[in-house]
Structure 1
Amino acid sequence: MGFKQFHRTIKIRIIESFLSSAIGGMIFPFMAIYLSSHFGVKMAGLLLLINVFVGIAINFFGGYFSDSFGRKKLIVFAESLRFLAFVTMMICNSPWFTEPLITFFMMTVNSICWGLAGPANQAMLIDVSRPEERKSMYTIMYWANNLSIAFGGAIGGFMFREYFFELLLALSITSLIAWTLITFFIEESYIPNKTEKKTPPQHVKQLFSNYHSVFKDKLFVLYVLAGIFVLSMEFQLTSYMSIRLSEDLSIQNLLGIEFGGIEMVGFLRTENTILVVILALFATKLVSNLNDRNVLITSCIVFVAGYAVISYSNNIWFLFGAMFIATVAEVLRVPVQQNYMANLPPEHARSSYLAVNGLTYNVANLICSLTITLSAYLSNLATSIFITGIGVAGIVIFIKIVPALDRRIHPETEAEIKTPMSITD
């Protein structure tokens, strides 16, 4: 399945997402520097924490609104608000004056927009895609996302300080292009059943009822939890693992270039990005003839093993080799894992399910923060065992629930397979 055969909405979303991520990647990863320079390091950390938690809270509303009122209306509203926020940020950092407090408020508005539109965007892609093309769709989006992040981060590193206003101008123009594409070229993909108009208290009650039903879906909750545990291994690279390497890795010499632990983390991230951009192009063909169950379990085992080595070793060749096998496993795992996720939610609550799944990155980051705290009291070996144990727990959960996953997604072919544990389908 190639790009040309996708539904128009999918093609527009891939293009729009690439542009937005590329320009956004030139700015937002560096906003901690901006905030710390204006408010100090401690206050900057607090402001960023507020920003994250606002996004998490709004994410639940985004899922509910999308299932209740449709996808497009919510996405258009969020993109309109985002465009106004970016224009305001641009004006507040123009050659004429600088207003960092308003800039922070507009960053928070952007987080609100992500929370509102995120579940709807994901649900819309599932709405308009066929099951047999989803692995291809997710592979291309995964490739485009990594390429845009690498592209944006590289340019932003050189331009952020001296050309902040120009970057915000480019971001505003890109946001306007995204709004135009979504408003005029994307059609509504989900029309909810008409019901009686609800009062605000009734909506609040329904929202809690929706998410109560989501969290009662044991299979879905376990699937998300397993994904969090496995993903946390990768996030440790820029968390505990980067701290450990910066402190423990002695000065190395490779091809006449001297470098330490911090530079080694940079090399590993670069290796990961380059490999993803190259290998993702072939991932769909590699997994097309393989059993999804086997791909998911095997790739998770290899992925966790690779990052387990990185969490402890100080040998640069072991580190490079471990990153290679972990990245290969990542490229094979991601489209299969996302394809399973696309088939789990019922249509009437798709965005609500995806809103809960959207917490994966935040919870994985919290695990990394906890690891840093624990590492102050544990030896490097004990910390590595702790990190690996979390990843192994994710693998065990996947092994336990995969038969039930296949039964829910392919009931006609999995009817006779018995699960090793009792899971509500």
Structure 2
Amino acid sequence: MSWRSWDLNLKVRLFGELITHTFFWMYFPFMALLFSDSFGKDMAGLLLMVPPLLGMFSNLFGGYLSDRIGRRPTMLTSLILSSSMFGLFAFSWSPWVDYLAFIGIGIAGSLYWPASSAMVADLTTEEDRRVVFATFYTAMNIGVVAGPVLGSFFFIHYRFELLLVCMIIEILFAITVFFLIKESLPAHVREEKAKERFSIKEQFKSYAVIFRDKVFALYILAGVFIAIAFMQLDLYMALYVNEHVQSQPLVSWGDWSFNVGGTSAFGWLMGLNGLLVVLFTLPVTNWFQHWSDRNSLVISSVLYGAGMFMMAFSTNIWFLFGCMFVLTLGELIRTPVAQSFISKYSPEDARGQYMGASSLQFSIGRFIAPLTIGISAWLPPVGVFGLILGVSLLSAYLYVVLFRKIPANQEG
């Protein structure tokens, strides 16, 4: 699917989300530092557990809204809320106001993404969907790479100005969505939903029906296990590299050498991961677009777990770069396939809710993943990395079981 043939909705949102995501990552990585300074590390750790919990519910509500009132109104609601919260953050007079604004921004983002993903699915064909999702994923990761670099200067030295610009960017994006984006939820679905009575009870009933779908429940469970492995990039891998990777030459020339180790080595590894994602998401998606969803999800889980596990056997920085390449390949194979699978599997009138429910795998995985830090006090690195490999292989096995059930499910 060439860029010129894209729907205007997709083109506008691609650029808008690239800009807003870059500004998001200019402040987000520094929240733990900000709240640790304001409340102390113990209190900050407890406070930072709340946003993912609220995000789980707002993701589900965002999916429900996008199916009931439409993708466009849900995105506009999210952008209005986020711009208000950025304004509150900028003019904050208390650390607790900072925290409430941070929670509000998180809730707004959780409302936005189910509607955004559902709109992509609405406007693309099944064969083009992987490439379009991969393009959006690439744009998002440009923000992940560029945002923290810019934020390390602007957030520290010009926090008020940065947050004010974030508010203005959100307002401008909301205006753009209002004037240029058209609703993509099919008219007949909107008419049917309009007849239904709006209630929280009905929302929970509709989600109960979704989670009684055994195939979808298996998909969420498999996603939770691989999400636990994904989260280790910022958790156990960071701890392992910081504690075990001693200062060593990255490059040398004669008597001169450039050394990395500990925190700097971790920074280089994460930089490589971000660079590979930006450069190779679209090429990898094109190379593997003829693979079945089953094979793509299974192989991606195995590659990610294997890349993590190999890190236990050497602290040489170039060996670790190779491990990072393997696990990033698994990440790149998985991401567009996982998004397109849900859009294919979900019914047209519940696509937003399925997208919202799908996000639970990452929320639940984010809660469980920090357990590896405590386990590392009892097990050597090879044992912890072995557990990470184990949950990745369990995820791969569940994907195999899942796709055995799908043909019978469809025939029924």
What TM-score, normalized to structure 1?
0.88
Kindly tell me: are residues 197 and 165 of structure 1, through their superposed partners in 2, closer, same or farther at Cα, counting changes over 3 Å?
Answer: same
The range that moved more, 356-365 or 312-321, is 312-321
Does the 8 A contact of 1:312 with 1:384 survive in 2? no
Does the 8 A contact of 1:2 with 1:136 survive in 2? no
Kindly tell me: are residues 198 and 329 of structure 1, through their superposed partners in 2, closer, same or farther at Cα, counting changes over 3 Å?
Answer: closer
Return the offset for 1:297. Answer: 2.5
CA–CA distance in structure 2, aligned partners of residues 118 and 290 of structure 1: 26
Q: Deviations over 1:89-131 (max 9, x none)?
A: 2223xxxxx4332222111211221232222222122122221
The residue identity in structure 2 corresponding to 1:205 is K
Aligned to 1:418: none
- 3-state SS, counterpart of residue 233 of structure 1: helix
Does the 8 A contact of 2:250 with 2:317 survive in 1? no
CA–CA distance in structure 1, aligned partners of residues 401 and 33 of structure 2: 44
Kindly tell me: are residues 14 and 389 of structure 1, through their superposed partners in 2, closer, same or farther at Cα, counting changes over 3 Å?
Answer: same
Return the offset for 1:74. Answer: 2.1
**Which of 222, 230, 254 in structure 2 is aligned with 1:226?**
222
Aligned to 1:161: 156
Give runs of aligned pairs for residues 216-255 of structure 1, distance below 5 A.
Answer: 216-255=212-251
Aligned to 2:379: 378
CA–CA distance in structure 1, aligned partners of residues 94 and 52 of structure 2: 21
Mark the runs of 5 or more structure 1 residues left unpaired by the alignment.
93-97, 416-424
The residue identity in structure 2 corresponding to 1:333 is R
Give runs of aligned pairs for residues 2-81 of structure 1, distance below 5 A.
Answer: 2-81=2-81
Return the offset for 1:192. Answer: 4.8
Aligned to 1:151: 146
Return the offset for 1:141. Answer: 0.8
Give runs of aligned pairs for residues 150-299 of structure 1, distance below 5 A.
Answer: 150-190=145-185, 191-194=190-193, 196=195, 198=197, 203-255=199-251, 256-299=257-300
- 3-state SS, counterpart of residue 25 of structure 1: helix
Does the 8 A contact of 1:237 with 1:265 survive in 2? no
CA–CA distance in structure 2, aligned partners of residues 58 and 290 of structure 1: 34
CA–CA distance in structure 2, aligned partners of residues 160 and 59 of structure 1: 27
CA–CA distance in structure 2, aligned partners of residues 342 and 406 of structure 1: 17
Does the 8 A contact of 2:294 with 2:399 survive in 1? no
Aligned to 1:128: 123
Does the 8 A contact of 1:136 with 1:284 survive in 2? yes
Kindly tell me: are residues 218 and 52 of structure 1, through their superposed partners in 2, closer, same or farther at Cα, counting changes over 3 Å?
Answer: same
Residue 348 in structure 1 maps to residue 349 in structure 2: yes
Kindly tell me: are residues 240 and 194 of structure 1, through their superposed partners in 2, closer, same or farther at Cα, counting changes over 3 Å?
Answer: closer
CA–CA distance in structure 1, aligned partners of residues 311 and 177 of structure 2: 42
Does the 8 A contact of 1:69 with 1:192 survive in 2? no
- 3-state SS, counterpart of residue 259 of structure 2: strand
CA–CA distance in structure 2, aligned partners of residues 6 and 293 of structure 1: 27
- 3-state SS, counterpart of residue 257 of structure 1: strand
Return the offset for 1:204. Answer: 2.5
Mark the runs of 5 or more structure 2 residues left unpaired by the alignment.
252-256
Q: Deviations over 1:31-81 (max 9, x none)?
A: 222222222222222222222222222222222222222222222122112
RMSD, matched Cα: 2.1
CA–CA distance in structure 2, aligned partners of residues 154 and 235 of structure 1: 21
CA–CA distance in structure 2, aligned partners of residues 72 and 229 of structure 1: 33
CA–CA distance in structure 2, aligned partners of residues 307 and 223 of structure 1: 22
- 3-state SS, counterpart of residue 188 of structure 1: coil
Aligned to 2:101: 106
**Which of 125, 132, 142 in structure 2 is aligned with 1:137?**
132
Return the offset for 1:230. Answer: 2.1
The range that moved more, 130-139 or 334-343, is 334-343
The residue identity in structure 2 corresponding to 1:188 is E
Kindly tell me: are residues 196 and 339 of structure 1, through their superposed partners in 2, closer, same or farther at Cα, counting changes over 3 Å?
Answer: closer
Residue 368 in structure 1 maps to residue 369 in structure 2: yes
Q: Deviations over 1:154-200 (max 9, x none)?
A: 1111221101112112211210121012111111222251555637x
CA–CA distance in structure 2, aligned partners of residues 382 and 325 of structure 1: 20
CA–CA distance in structure 2, aligned partners of residues 325 and 74 of structure 1: 38
What TM-score, normalized to structure 2?
0.91
Aligned to 1:95: none
Give runs of aligned pairs for residues 300-311 of structure 1, distance below 5 A.
Answer: 300-311=301-312
Kindly tell me: are residues 313 and 223 of structure 1, through their superposed partners in 2, closer, same or farther at Cα, counting changes over 3 Å?
Answer: farther
- 3-state SS, counterpart of residue 157 of structure 2: coil
Residue 332 in structure 1 maps to residue 333 in structure 2: yes
Return the offset for 1:145. Answer: 0.9
Kindly tell me: are residues 242 and 65 of structure 1, through their superposed partners in 2, closer, same or farther at Cα, counting changes over 3 Å?
Answer: same
Kindly tell me: are residues 174 and 381 of structure 1, through their superposed partners in 2, closer, same or farther at Cα, counting changes over 3 Å?
Answer: same
CA–CA distance in structure 1, aligned partners of residues 357 and 196 of structure 2: 26
CA–CA distance in structure 2, aligned partners of residues 376 and 261 of structure 1: 18
CA–CA distance in structure 2, aligned partners of residues 346 and 386 of structure 1: 36
Does the 8 A contact of 1:292 with 1:336 survive in 2? yes
Kindly tell me: are residues 206 and 242 of structure 1, through their superposed partners in 2, closer, same or farther at Cα, counting changes over 3 Å?
Answer: same
Return the offset for 1:311. Answer: 4.7
Does the 8 A contact of 2:305 with 2:390 survive in 1? no
Kindly tell me: are residues 292 and 48 of structure 1, through their superposed partners in 2, closer, same or farther at Cα, counting changes over 3 Å?
Answer: closer
CA–CA distance in structure 1, aligned partners of residues 41 and 243 of structure 2: 22
The residue identity in structure 2 corresponding to 1:137 is V
CA–CA distance in structure 2, aligned partners of residues 312 and 344 of structure 1: 40
Return the offset for 1:292. Answer: 3.9
The range that moved more, 38-47 or 153-162, is 38-47
Kindly tell me: are residues 405 and 259 of structure 1, through their superposed partners in 2, closer, same or farther at Cα, counting changes over 3 Å?
Answer: same
The residue identity in structure 2 corresponding to 1:244 is Y
CA–CA distance in structure 2, aligned partners of residues 299 and 10 of structure 1: 27
